[in-house]
Structure 1
């Protein structure tokens, strides 16, 4: 029993579900001991020497003595590599069929093996199985060493081959991504597990893994950027090693990574290019991000602990009384009847439709939590319906797998089965009929409480896996992805005229197709605040642009300064939500004194002013995959200092936000990318690259605007205005505005504007001619 198990056991000992969690942990161990296939003797294998090659559209197949490798360059520039016959499909990550091969790329002999030359990358395959990816100019991006397998030689049904693949990258390369990691955003050396995990209580930067793990590395180096995705859903780990320039005898020591998987195909994609091109190609492959409705870009208030619908009304009324804009209220598990999903407590929440209508008249939507676990209660309609249809995960003997979650003994839908997804999606009608406008999926790693061992289903639990059949070792990491798909598809059927709003605590590559995510149970501490930003930046580089933390932290009561600094950070992130545990104290701004309340009001007013810009960024993310929140190196990946900077970020192309992440700070040193930047508080112009020291009083955080930017903002009457930050003399600038249907599927309207100097004044023009059509306000001075 490790330290985390011990802590969990102590915490659960006195809980209502404590004895059930202990029983479930023992049951899981016994089930795995009985049903998990045993590994027989294993034989190590490497590809061996190349025997020949067969050209194919986009590349070809290289045959080795003990394996074969397919290389295929797809239209758009992504490169697929599959060993031992692994193909791009079937894949949970891909949004549809794999992209067509680029017929211009052909496998041809090279001096040391073979090569495939394409417009954006050259792939070199050595005679012993090493694969290099180089820029068109010949600079090394990545070198994959020959892989190694451990083939099982046991009886039929034994696990397939485990494998490891090591790679080398340039000495200056830095790695980002791997899903939601509290360390970072630049990931330090170390080992990261690929197994979606509820950490059990609040987490801090040293805790790993967390709720969303993805085998997605975003690598940035002087030679260029690339993304590598190893498409296996099995448990695994990635070990990162930083390079060192001029090491030892004066030669560089390359950086690198080692990917180890407990099973699944050895196949991977490499996508080269600048950051925008990489994310554009990645989300074209795995699905463009879902577009949230406009209201989801406002402020969300949530708390585990709303006792009654009368309390919800009181909180909403207090927001109005304190003149605090509010867009959404979330209801946690306490509104259910005995924690049973798709129910409502008839005494404490007797009229949810009426509450929903009342709030909607005030411009506030209701969002409901949805957990996957179904109470295993004979006579309960939901349980009986699922049991009759064979919807729940079973063990090797065909019996329902039981676990323990909030309602007690529970069963779990098998979201890897299309029929189960269709059944589950139809259940959201009950939620819609009660007036809920959106949904947050929780506990879907999936979690089954356990006083020791892994808090999830037995690894031997059987899953459909789209009819192929398999067990939880392969299905675990995509369980939440299947749940999100079930909810998304169900809402599309039930309410086809509206875009679904859905975000999920867990997920996998491609989850952006169905919505976003949040931090999960981040610790209430300054280090939790810093981890919040790392998570949002890292997830954005994995293709998931809509996310945010629990403002104030999940557990514990934040001190006023910490709460305010977290609130200020949240006001610039895509998902802006306060939330806390049932024993974590309240998170309403007026709970922290009049000074914090006043500053929180200013942050909320700034958020509302920026809503048109955030809506524009949402449409850009939908169309291109570019995240709202971007690292400072986004437009300058060759700037090594920016790669190490994790305490500030770009909000779109126009704004640089430098949140205060340390206690007691009233100023902040901010590293600027190349270009000219206006301090939005003072209008003063600063030039990058370099560092500036900016005031950061308790009431605000430093925010800079790029010279030449044209931002859509909300005016005093709510109408859209153009806020213009002048370009330098002799230069020009630009900006775009997206608008249109705020909640439905109508085609968006994009308008592009340019700005320049003429006769000593800043002139704004609509691209293509015609009237500007918006009020224009010029800020700052280029002098």
Structure 2
């Protein structure tokens, strides 16, 4: 037991839920001891020597003495590898059916064994089970060593697979990791976990873990995804570079799973192409309604409709636009999901209508745990539908969450998803426009690690789409399946509107249902840095819509920290303040006049950039490219850019360098190649290189790429802010717009900027007129 778990457990024991938590922990331990088979004698095996190969569409099967390997190149370029007969399906990650095989890829003999040559990757299968992935030019990207299994009588096999990567390779991803975005040497657990306390960069794992590695090296980028939902570990090892002396030691990783299939996908290319292939496989990101890109305010502890009105009026009176207010568990009746505290919120639909008239949407929290209370409508209907998770003896599993003793829907059963989805009709009748899934790792309070983790028993039974299984397999996809239930229900209940939901927990493919947020990030400068790491890392796993709780969750930030957190979040996709019931208020006017004015400036810039952000949302939905991108996005071979984790690109046009150090009034920024303008002063900087920028408290350093055509909000609609291209060069931009909701085909406008006769001109593709007011900037710093 680590110190953090001890402190958390002692605090819980001393709370009103203390003894119920002790009882729940004991019950969880007893169920697992009774229902999980004991680990007996195990036999280790490796593939052994290959003895035959069979060509099949897209690749083929290589048979070894003690296993077999299926290699299959899919249309789109992703390569599937499955050992021991593992197939691409069934899979919670894939969007729809598995893509068809690319029949141009053929398994053929090779001097080392066999090879499959495709457009983007060459796969070499060696005679003793190693598998190497190479670029079309023959540069090694990844070499998987022969795997090893441990087979036990009457129980699942656990396995380990080691891989080697180039010495200069760096790894990103693995879901939401606070210590990123570049992942250091060490072990990372693949088990969605509620830390039950504020977290910072040293805390791992967190709410969203994914077996998705985005690997960047001089020779090229690739993504590897182990399609396995069981508990596991990824252990990363850095390479040792010998400065070209011929003594470079490869880096690599070791992947371990406690059960489940040994199957994985590999895709390679530029960062944009890799994520395009990945999201084509697992689902394009859901497009949020336009209002969901505005500023949103939440608090655990609004307490009453009167307080919600007071906060909304405070923003309105100060001329600070807020697009949504979020109600936490305190608006429920006794914390029971899909209920309303009628004393505190006597006419919730009326409140929602008042807010809508002011341009503010109402968002509801939704927890999966249902209070085990006969007579309660949700519990009774769930019991009638046989919707709740049971143990091996057929008894409904009980846990402990905010309402008290609770039961948990089994979202891995289609019929349960349909039952649960029907409950959202009540939320829509109350006037809610969006939904916030919480506590869905799933969390059940417990004490002391030796009694088990804060979730359901490992032996709890799940439907797993009719296949059957236990919580060891279902745990990591519980939040994903809950998001699916909500998303599909909202598509049916409100077919004319795009669903808006975001989830604290999830797994590979969660982007097709919505986004996520940081969870309970610690209030402090380390928490601020962790916030950016989470957004960047999740974007490289295919989840582009995310953001932190501004100010941190549990404590009151200083005015300086609050301002800097606001300034960072104003450039992130999901922009929300939020706090715990004991964490203090998060309204800007609570932090003094100077902080309020700084926040006003940041909020005004967010509003101005909404057309650009909405365009990035559409581009993410079409291509999988995240809104927030690492500095190396267009230059992955630049090792210095790969080391930068405290600045980012917002789309292709903007470079944002947030202040993440206390007391700092300047920022050192490493620039990608090209000409960059300081958005505040117009000063010109040239990359690659490093520059020092002024960062007073009222400003975040932002640079704009020369030639960028940036769609921005102006008084009469949408205008174009054009930054002069370098002499003899041109620039570009795109604007994608629609009604802000619904499913109508959006309008796509493409623009080009260039010098002509000593002036900067803008042209719209396929049209004689630009169609928008244009403002050219950067001319004062161009000699021409």
How many angstroms apart in 1 are the aligned matches of 2:293 and 2:37? 47
**Paired position in structure 1 for 2:580:** 581
Shift of 1:2: 3.5
| 1:248 CA displacement | 12
Deviation, structure 1 residue 139: 0.5
Q: How many angstroms does 1:249 deviate by?
A: 8.0
Q: In the TM superposition, what is the alpha-carbon distance from 1:13 to its structure 2 partner?
A: 2.1
Give the ranges of 4+ consecutive aligned residues of structure 1 lying more than 6 Å apart after TM superposition. none
**In angstroms, what is the RMSD of aligned CA positions?**
0.9
Q: CA deviation at 1:388?
A: 1.2
Deviations 1:24-68 (A, max 9, x none): 000000000001122221100000000010011111000000000
Q: 1:407 aligns with which of 394, 403, 407?
A: 403
Report 1:37-56 matches (<5 A): 37-56=37-56
- Partner-residue secondary structure (3-state), 2:499: coil
Corresponding residue number in structure 2 for 1:723: 721
SS in 2 for 1:150: strand
| Contact kept in structure 2, 1:741 and 1:747, CA below 8 Å | no
**Structure 1 residue aligned with 2:669:** 670
CA distance in 2, matches of 1:331, 1:770: 49
Structure 1 partner of 2:765: 767
Cα distance in 1 for residues equivalent to 2:13 and 2:34: 27
Whole-angstrom distance in 1 between the partners of 2:219 and 2:204? 30
Partner of residue 222, structure 2: 226
Q: Quote the Cα distance in structure 2 between the aligned partners of 1:248 and 1:641.
A: 17
For 1:309, the equivalent position in structure 2 comes to: 305
Question: How far 1:592 sits from its partner (Å)?
Answer: 0.5
Residues 43-442 of structure 1: matches in 2 within 5 Å?
A: 43-153=43-153, 155=154, 158=155, 160-246=156-242, 250-442=246-438
CA distance in 1, matches of 2:495, 2:290: 17
Structure 2, unaligned runs of 5 or more: none
Deviation at 1:5, TM superposition (A): 2.9
Distance 1:261 1:496 in 2: 40
CA distance in 2 between counterparts of 1:475 and 1:4 reads 26
Match of 1:711 in 2: 710
Instruction: Provide the TM-score with structure 1 as the length reference.
Output: 0.99
Once residues 378 and 75 of structure 1 are traced to their aligned partners in structure 2, the CA distance between those partners, rounded to angstroms, is 52
Whole-angstrom distance in 1 between the partners of 2:43 and 2:3? 35
The CA deviation at 1:250 is 4.8
Give the match for residue 537 of structure 2: 538
- CA displacement, residues 112-160 of structure 1 (integer Å, 9 cap, x when unaligned): 100111111110000000000001111110000000000112x4xx2x1
The 1-side partners of 2:64 and 2:219 are apart by 30
Q: Deviations over 1:303-346 (max 9, x none)?
A: 10101000000000000111111111000000000000000001
Deviation at 1:241, TM superposition (A): 0.5
Equivalents in 2 of 1:645, 1:248: separation in Å? 23
Deviations 1:213-268 (A, max 9, x none): 00000000000000000000000000000101118985110000000000000000
Secondary structure at the counterpart of residue 90 of structure 1: coil
Cα displacement (A) at 1:692: 0.6
Task: Give CA-to-partner distance per residue, 1:590-634, whole Å, 9 cap, x none.
Answer: 000000000100000000000000000000000000000000000
Partner of 2:7: 7
Partners in 1 of 2:336 and 2:105 — Cα distance?
55
Which residue matches 1:457? 456
Using structure 2 for the length normalisation, give the TM-score.
0.99
Q: Which residue of 2 aligns with 1:746?
A: 744
Look up the SS of the partner of 2:543 in the other structure: coil
Could you give the per-residue CA deviations for residues 183-239 of structure 1, whole angstroms, max 9, x where no partner exists?
Answer: 110000000000000011100101000000000000000000000000000000000
Q: Does 1:735 align with 2:743?
A: no
CA contact (8 A) 2:13 2:21 kept: no
C-alpha separation in 2, matches of 1:608 and 1:741: 17
Instruction: State the 1:301 CA deviation.
Output: 0.3
Q: Quote the offset at 1:586 in angstroms.
A: 0.6
Distance 2:13 2:99 in 1: 52
**After alignment, is 463-472 or 247-256 more displaced?**
247-256
For 2:411 and 2:187, how far apart are their aligned partners in 1?
29
Whole-angstrom CA distance in 2 between matches of 1:386 and 1:121: 49
Partner of 2:679: 680
Q: 1:681-696 to 2 correspondence within 5 Å?
A: 681-696=680-695
